[in-house]
Amino acid sequence: MADTRPLPADDGITIACNLRICRAGQLPATDVGQNVRVRKVLIGLVATVTTVAVGAVGADFGTAIYAEYHWARSVRAANHLPFDPWVGILGFPFVTQATGHHYREVEIRAAGVDHPVVGKASIEATMHSVDLTDTSWLLKPDATLRVGKLEGRLIVDSTHVGRFMGIKDLLVEAPPKETNDATGGTTESGISGSRGLVFTGTPTAAGFDRRISVSVDLSTPDDDDTTLVFTATDVLTGPGTADEQVPDDKKAAVLAAFETRMPGMKLPFAIAPTSEGARGSDIIIEGITTGVTVAVDGFRQS
């Protein structure tokens, strides 16, 4: 026979007797409080880390600006410039470069510097892998620098090239088939090739009173790398030119008006030129060399 004895009243085997029932979406007050405290801790931690990171980056940039200012003042003093050149010390973080006595890349630019031949010229230098072991990270005017790779550029704009040639309205352009901007061109710095540049202007010295376009090649003689030679090869017509024909009897005189020799084109730190061309409407002579030691006062050569 089956056992039909009743269960003890305090044995409660049902779930309902011990289950706390909550309305849908409602958590116990203790759990909600714990979640709020955790969120506050996390938000505080993230805010602290962000503040420290932003402060560190700001301090790094501030230190770099301070160093660039001292470099600019030293380059100015050493080269007798009438103004501070632009100096950029590239690479992040800066502080580790300074404490390691080694800058990855330094750029120096001085625009509109007096030049004895063309009146005004701009000077640029890019230094890669700069060893600061023998000098201060802030640089002094009498310092010398060991540089892994050095680029130097002398830049003359169309206006001053035209004045030198006697063509007051001269406009210089890169060869038509070449890309020529700050990130392209035939060199890393955006300089075009040296052949087939387009010179457009009015060659009044040839008895011609209309704007014409001429193809011009640039070069430096083997025996004098501080002279830039302009050789006019032909009159240009068609799209992208003045599209002006020149009579045969005047062609030689017109071409001669676009030819000249420009002496005194000394690159910063006396670097030998390795290429000539155009960037925008400027004529640029560039030199690149490696493994050199240079003095700060060699930035300006003329």
- Confidence at residue 183, expressed as pLDDT on a 0 to 100 scale: 41
- pTM for this prediction: 0.79
Sheet with strand 119-131: strands edge to edge: 86-90, 102-115, 119-131, 144-157, 282-295, 275-279
C-beta of residue 284 within 8 angstroms of C-beta of residue 276: yes
Task: Give the integer Cα–Cα distance in Å for 254 and 135.
Answer: 54
User: Which residues in the chain land under pLDDT 50?
Assistant: 1-2, 7, 12-17, 19, 21, 179-186
Q: Alpha-carbon Rg of the chain, whole angstroms? A: 35
- Confidence at residue 63, expressed as pLDDT on a 0 to 100 scale: 86
- Confidence at residue 148, expressed as pLDDT on a 0 to 100 scale: 97
- Confidence at residue 185, expressed as pLDDT on a 0 to 100 scale: 47
Residue 296 has φ and ψ, to the nearest 5°, of: -60, -35
Task: Give the integer Cα–Cα distance in Å for 109 and 282.
Answer: 15
| Domain boundaries, given as residue ranges, for the chain | 52-297
- Confidence at residue 1, expressed as pLDDT on a 0 to 100 scale: 46
- Confidence at residue 176, expressed as pLDDT on a 0 to 100 scale: 85
Establish whether the linkage from the previous residue to 176 is cis, with ω within 30° of 0. Answer: no
Which tens digit of pLDDT belongs to each residue from 265-301?
Answer: 999 999 999 999 999 999 999 999 999 999 999 999 9
